[in-house]
């Protein structure tokens, strides 16, 4: 005989209504009661019929996860599997599934978001980026759809829930660290300036140079698509300057890997001739030769909080807007040296 909600309620010594609320992850039910009921359900082998339940309550129990680029390009960067691991962990606790965008272009992704929200295939959306003038974010905001953002939005300040690092402060710390090692010619290879994180990091770079009384030199700046990687000609241009950089900060560890490869081809030693410091602390970074100095931006926690924020809005559209700053940590390894 099939196990019912009443059977679970009796075994857990709670009411059937409480079991239903636990299944719905109702915030009014205490964590202890949720744990007890879920353990009872697992022990008894009871699995709720979510399809039938969702038809009744008109919910999909699914979160849409939207990447700035096509999935094929995005998953080339270890950032995305790690941020999805954080999102999945929190979504699983609330018994939500994930629906990933698959469009190959910005326009296709925009149409896909409209389709998945108007078709009720998702209850809310997580944007894994914040881009200036982004029409997907505008659509979600204007349509009053529950959503959260990984990254500081550049519009609707105080009206959108998001999680981010202090990108200005992080880069200031990085540049201050290199200055403390004696570096004055510090190049910066950053992401496209249409992304808010790229703008904030460049701002931090400029602030740190100003505080250190070091002039801002446009010749030391490279901005390009993260997924496209750094071009060899950009590296050659930097290193063939009359006064080449003695240190280079890159936006992402993947870019640093390419950079170091180009430098090796040019017979330029890291860190003997130039120091390299990057962001994201991918798993391979500690195993390079030399090991890469990098900033751990707590990617898993970014995903975890992004899921928390959108789930709050899904369960209560009047939930207050929240802005979460996740700490970052500079990891000193062998790719930087003191002059």
Give the total number of structural domains in the chain: 3
115 and 207, same domain (yes or no): no
Do 151 and 171 share a structural domain?
Answer: no
The predicted model gives 113-138 an average pLDDT of 93
Answer yes or no: pTM beyond 0.85.
no
Is the domain of 102 the same as that of 145?
Answer: yes
Q: Which residue has the higher pLDDT, 41 or 74?
A: 41
- Predicted confidence (pLDDT) at residue 196 exceeds the cutoff of 90: yes
24 shares a domain with 72? no
If asked whether residues 87 and 42 sit together in one domain, one would say: no
For the stretch 152-166, pLDDT in tens is: 999 888 999 999 999
Which of 13, 129, 18, 126 minimizes the C-alpha distance to 69? Answer: 129
CA atoms of 327 and 223, how far apart (whole Å): 25
Arithmetic mean of pLDDT, 59-81: 81
**Range of 27's domain?**
5-48
Instruction: Give the 3-state DSSP-derived string for 145-199, with helices as H, strands as E and coil as C.
Output: CCEEEECCCCCCCCCCCEEECCHHHHHHHHHHHHHHCCCCCEEEEECCCCEHHHH
Mean pLDDT taken over the chain: 91
* Distance, CA of 22 to CA of 48 (rounded, Å): 11
Query: What mean pLDDT do residues 304-320 have?
Result: 95
Domain check: are 186 and 290 in the same one? Answer: yes
**Domain membership flag for residue 336:** no
pLDDT number for residue 317: 87
147 plus 29 within the same structural domain:
no
pLDDT at 49: 63
Predicted pLDDT at 1: 61
Query: Taken in order 5, 9, 15, 21, is the CA torsion positive or negative?
Result: negative
Residue 11 has pLDDT above 80, yes or no: yes
56 pLDDT band, cuts 50/70/90, is: very low
* pLDDT single digits (tens) 250-285: 999 999 999 999 999 999 999 999 999 999 999 999
pLDDT of res. 227: 56
* Confidence label for 55 from pLDDT (cuts 50, 70 and 90): very low
Residues 207 and 117 in one domain: no
């Amino acid at each position: 005989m099939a196990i019912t909600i009443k059977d679970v309620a009796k075994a857990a010594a709670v009411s059937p209504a409480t079991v239903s609320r636990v299944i719905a992850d109702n915030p009014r039910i205490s964590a202890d009661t949720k744990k007890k009921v879920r353990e009872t359900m697992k022990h008894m082998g009871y699995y709720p019929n979510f399809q039938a339940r969702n038809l009744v309550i008109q919910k999909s129990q699914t979160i849409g996860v939207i990447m700035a680029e096509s999935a094929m390009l995005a998953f080339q960067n270890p950032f995305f599997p790690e941020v999805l691991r954080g999102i999945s962990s929190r979504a699983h606790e609330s018994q939500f599934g994930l629906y990933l965008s698959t469009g190959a272009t910005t326009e296709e992704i925009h149409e896909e978001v409209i389709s998945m929200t108007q078709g009720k295939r998702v209850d809310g959306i997580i944007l894994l980026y914040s881009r200036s003038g982004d029409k997907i974010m505008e659509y979600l905001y204007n349509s009053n759809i529950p959503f959260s953002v990984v990254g500081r939005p550049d519009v609707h300040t105080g009206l959108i829930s998001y999680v981010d690092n202090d990108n200005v402060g992080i880069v200031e710390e990085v540049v201050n660290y290199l200055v403390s090692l004696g570096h004055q010619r510090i190049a910066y290879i950053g992401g496209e300036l249409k992304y808010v994180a790229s703008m904030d990091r460049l701002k931090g770079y400029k602030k740190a140079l100003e505080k250190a009384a070091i002039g801002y030199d446009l010749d030391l700046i490279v901005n390009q698509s993260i997924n496209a990687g750094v071009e060899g000609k950009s590296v050659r241009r930097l290193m063939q300057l009359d006064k080449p950089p003695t240190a280079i900060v890159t936006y992402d560890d993947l870019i640093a890997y390419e950079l170091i490869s180009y430098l090796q081809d040019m017979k330029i030693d890291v860190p003997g001739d130039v120091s390299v410091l990057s962001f994201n602390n991918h798993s391979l970074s500690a195993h390079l030769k030399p090991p890469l100095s990098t900033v751990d931006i707590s990617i898993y926690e970014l995903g975890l909080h992004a899921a928390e924020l959108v789930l709050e809005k899904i369960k209560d559209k009047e939930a207050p807007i929240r802005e979460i700053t996740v700490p970052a940590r500079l990891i000193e390894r062998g790719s930087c040296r003191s002059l």
